[in-house]
Structure formats: structure tokens, C-alpha cells
Structure 1
Amino acid sequence: MRLHYKGVYNLEPDSLPQRPHRPGAVPFKEAKDTRTLSIIGNVLGAVIIALLLVSAIFRGKSTFDTFQMILGCVLPMAVLLPHELLHAACFRKDVYLYTNLRQGMLFVVGPEDMSKARFLLMSLLPNIVFGLIPYAIGMALPNMALSAFGAICTGMGAADYYNVFNTLTQVPNGAKIYASGFNSYWYLPK
């Protein structure tokens, strides 16, 4: 994998890496711009975070610690970049990192072909590592800092869950997936 930092995304889809389309490529039925994706991701993320935090508060109410809660809510900002680097690690070729903090997003895009399974792993890996695992451990202990950290990191991956949903509902088994510009495509190799 070769990571290229491209800086602030200029909101022009044509400025993202493009590639020639594969024969028979089918575009995902997905958000057509970052504004729409940002709204979907931020609303879904807020709902996920709220549900998980409420569960964590009720689970740990006998050991609730305000400092731990604040710590758990601040630390997820430290894993924004590592989250994207875990996505990037799932690519074998060139991958490009962009920031779009005005719309609350960092993202990577790579125009290489991926199997459906690898695309799903790439989409979910950071959310499992930084979100679900810490949340589960925090709930089991209970530890409010770990639970809050995991809840927020899980919610931060809402746009990734949108990709997973689109992949599971639109892409047949055996298909390959790739990105070109802002959009994802799938095709059946011959």
C-alpha cells in the first residue's frame, strides 16, 4: 500500500482519483456527493452514539465517573487519523487520504479492485478495532471511559456502515468493487 496525503478535499468529485470503468460496471446506488453522505453519516452516527452511550451510562451507573466520561468522549478525536490508516492498510496499491472537516469527515479512496469480502473488511476494520472491541470491554468491566470511547468510535464509522449496507444489498457474490471519483462500482469478472 502506498498512502498519498492529498490535503483538504475541494468538494470536486473530478479531483478524486479516477480510473477507466470495467466492462459491465454497475454504479452503487449511493449518495452522489459528500454533503449528502455527511448528512447520512452524521445523523446515523449521532443515533448510534446516543444509543450506545445511554446503554453504557445505565450499565455503569453505580460506578459512573464524570472524569472517565469526559475522557472517553475526548479521546476518539485522537483516533480519527488511525481510523483512516486502518482503512488504508486494506489496500494493496495507491490509496489517497483527504480531509473534509467542514462536513465532519476524513476519508480514504483507492481506485483498485477489491473482492466483496475485502471491501467489507476495509469498511469495518477501524470500527471493530476502535469501536466495538473497546465498547464491549468497557461494558464488561464496566469502565465508563472505555465504554464512551468505544461508543463514539463506533458512531464515527456511520458512513462506513452505509458502504457496508450498500455492498450487502447491491453487490452479488463473486463481484469486484472499485472506486472511481466519489462513487463505488461493482462488476462481475469474466
Structure 2
Amino acid sequence: MSGVSSSSGGSPTATPIPEGAEKATVAAGCFWGVEHAFRKKFADSGLYDARVGYIGGDVANPSYRAVCGGNTGHAEATQLIYDPTQLSYSQLLEFFYRMHDPTTVDQQGPDRGPQYRSGIFFHSPEQETIARDITKSVDEQWWSGRVVTEILPAKEWWDAEEYHQLYLDRNPMGYECPSHFTRPFPELK
């Protein structure tokens, strides 16, 4: 099975997706740290790939500069391709809520603007149900009723420019949002 994702510049990029793999798309502020955190956490647990890109807006072929301007409607996001026999969508979302602050509107740490919003972009009715259930649980149990995360159907995905992919692997001293760290919350009930 192979998937096609759009890349900036308008040409689709064929990305091989293993048979039976599933896709999850989340936004949690600056995408460099989000991608890096998911890779570190799930590298040996069923995560095939993590790509950074743009989703949620109506502008075709968005560039980093345009998205950073805050007027495209797009969020900086991370798309995860994973093996659902080893890693569940619930596990990914629980980690998502541990690794960023979902209580600030259009902001993560010092990064401000709608492109840095917290969001879950679901790809199926089942993902929507799980996203809403997990969000309700973490809002009640971890975040004291302050979660502002959007839960929306996934629109078209646009890969970010190549220099953004694996950015913190290539630039170990590069910028990482200070709000991206794993919080030691108890297991969800």
C-alpha cells in the first residue's frame, strides 16, 4: 500500500506506507520538537515515520514563511505513520497530551500565533471518538478543565520543506520549544 502526500510546491510526494499501517495527525506548537519527541518515544514501539507539515487551513502549497505569518489557517503539525498492532491511537494521543501544554490558545511557550495551536486532526470516525474520549479524560484528570485542543477532521496535508524534516536530529542544538517535555501524569482511569 502506498500513500500520496502533498509537498510544498504543489507536487505530490509518494511516501511508502506499510500494509496495515495507520495515520495520526497532531499539532502541538513548533513541529520540530513534536516530531522529535514522538520519534524518541515510539522509535522501537511501532512508529514507522513522523513527518512535519501543515494542515487545517485553506491555502494550497503553503510555505513555512506563509504559515508563520499566521494568515493561512494552517497549523504546524506532525503526521505519524504507525503499526496499530504494536502502537494504539490512544497511546499516541495520551503522549500528545503529556508532551505539550494543551491549555493555551494559539500558543506553546514563547511561540504565539494560530499556527502553534493544539489540535488533533482525525482520519476516521473511530479516531474522532477516541480523540474526544481521551481529550475528555485528560481534561478532567490532568489539566483541570482547561484543555483548548481542537478536534477536527483532517484536511489536505502538506509536507513542510525538506530542511524541516528531522530538524533536531540534523541540528541537535536547534530550537526546541520549552513547553515540549513529558509530564509525569498518572495513568488515565
**Aligning the two structures, in what range does the TM-score lie when normalised by the shorter sequence?**
under 0.3
TM-score normalised by the chain length of structure 2: 0.24
The one of the two structures with greater contact order (alpha-carbon pairs below 8 A, sep at least 6) is 1
- Would you tell me which structure has more strand in proportion to its own residues? 2
Structure with higher Rg: it is 1
- Would you tell me which structure has more helix in proportion to its own residues? 1
